[in-house]
């Protein structure tokens, strides 16, 4: 029986793959057999080394996704360097924190442009290619704040709520064309983006008390979900937002 999770012969593009969640997903896809292009502002040399150790190929693509300027180039470079594009993981993102009464337009635009605008146009560029070949997998990285409001992160909450809606819209348009569009909503994962929360003794305690699993998540906890959504095992999964949260939303 064929392994439905096997990604041999597939090419994945992962944004923000230099560390944290993006790195863990890139390595998990490589472990399942995919070659991986890593795109972002910071070179993902360590990720590339881990991919090579798994016997897979990688490509490092320099791209500042705070604007849509590099989007078409990123997709084309992936195709040119690795021979195709079958899987897109939109992981790159930023966060800015301040009380809503003090939140600046600059912080709003920076987050929404990176977390939502660039994601849509990367989906568009990859989607054109995938629709033409009749198959593809797109995985957007959502958040607990796709479902909840959060505090002091208005542009982040807006962007991740937008990711949920965008994922469903694209699934509605592209599922019949062979392109599955889904999202992963990480719970509280120990990364650079959550360093401020981990360092805040009171907030960290409140978070831990709410997680049924009793711990912060690790980036590697997201690897299995990513492989599932990138593989043939999820061919009839469309427009779904998969929470990988240690039970946070069940509480």
What integer pLDDT is reported at residue 131 of this predicted model?
98
In this model, does residue 1 exceed pLDDT 70? no
Residue 212, number of CB atoms within 10 A of its CB: 11
pLDDT of 159-215, one tens digit each? 999 999 999 999 999 999 999 999 999 999 998 878 888 999 998 999 999 999 999
What would the two tokens of residue 84 be? Answer: 């195709």
What integer pLDDT is reported at residue 192 of this predicted model?
81
pLDDT of 35-51, one tens digit each? 999 999 999 999 999 99
Q: How confident is the model at residue 226 (pLDDT cuts 50, 70, 90)?
A: very high
Beta bridge partners of 12: 36, 87
- Which pTM does this prediction carry? 0.97
Q: How confident is the model at residue 3 (pLDDT cuts 50, 70, 90)?
A: very high
Q: What is the 3-state secondary structure (H, E, C) of the chain?
A: CCCCCCCCCCEEEEECCCCHHHHHHHHHHHHCCCEEEEEECCCCHHHHHHHHHCCCCEEEEECCCCCCCCHHHHHHHHHHHHCCCCEEEECCCCCCCCCHHHCCHHHHHHHHHHHHHHHHHHHHHHHHHHHHHCCEEEEEECCHHHCCCCCCCHHHHHHHHHHHHHHHHHHHHHHHHCEEEEEEEECCECCHHHHHHHHCHHHHHHHHHHCCCCCCECHHHHHHHHHHHHCHHHCCCCCCEEEECCCHHHC
What would the two tokens of residue 214 be? Answer: 């009793």
What integer pLDDT is reported at residue 7 of this predicted model?
98
Domains of the chain: 11-243 (3.40.50.720)
Beta bridge partners of 60: 38
Largest CA distance in the chain: 58
What would the two tokens of residue 251 be? Answer: 């509480």
Nearest to 187 by CA among 159, 210, 158, 169: 210
Enzyme catalytic residues: 156
What is the average pLDDT across 228-233? Answer: 98
CA distance 44 to 17: 6
CA distance 138 to 100: 32
pLDDT of 71-99, one tens digit each? 999 999 999 999 999 999 999 999 999 99
């Amino acid at each position: 029986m064929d392994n439905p999770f096997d990604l041999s012969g597939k090419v994945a593009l992962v944004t923000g793959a230099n560390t944290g969640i993006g790195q863990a997903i890139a390595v998990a896809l490589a472990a399942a057999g995919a070659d991986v292009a890593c795109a972002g502002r910071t070179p993902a040399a360590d990720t590339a080394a881990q991919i090579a150790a798994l016997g897979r190929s990688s490509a490092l693509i320099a791209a500042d996704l705070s604007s849509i300027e590099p989007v078409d180039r990123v997709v084309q470079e992936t195709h040119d360097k690795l021979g195709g594009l079958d899987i897109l993981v939109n992981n790159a993102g930023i966060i800015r924190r301040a009380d809503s009464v003090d939140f600046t337009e600059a912080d709003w635009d920076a987050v929404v442009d990176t977390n939502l605008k660039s994601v849509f146009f990367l989906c568009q560029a990859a989607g054109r290619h995938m629709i033409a070949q009749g198959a593809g997998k797109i995985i957007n990285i959502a958040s607990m704040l796709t479902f909840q409001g959060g505090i002091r992160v208005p542009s982040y909450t807006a962007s991740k709520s937008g990711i949920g809606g965008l994922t469903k819209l694209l699934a509605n348009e592209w599922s019949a064309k062979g392109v599955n569009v889904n999202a992963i909503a990480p719970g509280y994962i120990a990364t650079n983006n959550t360093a401020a929360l981990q360092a805040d003794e009171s907030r960290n305690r409140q978070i831990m008390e709410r997680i049924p699993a009793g711990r912060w998540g690790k980036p590697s906890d997201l690897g299995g979900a990513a492989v599932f959504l990138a593989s043939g095992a999820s061919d009839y999964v469309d427009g779904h937002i998969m929470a990988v949260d240690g039970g946070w939303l069940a509480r």
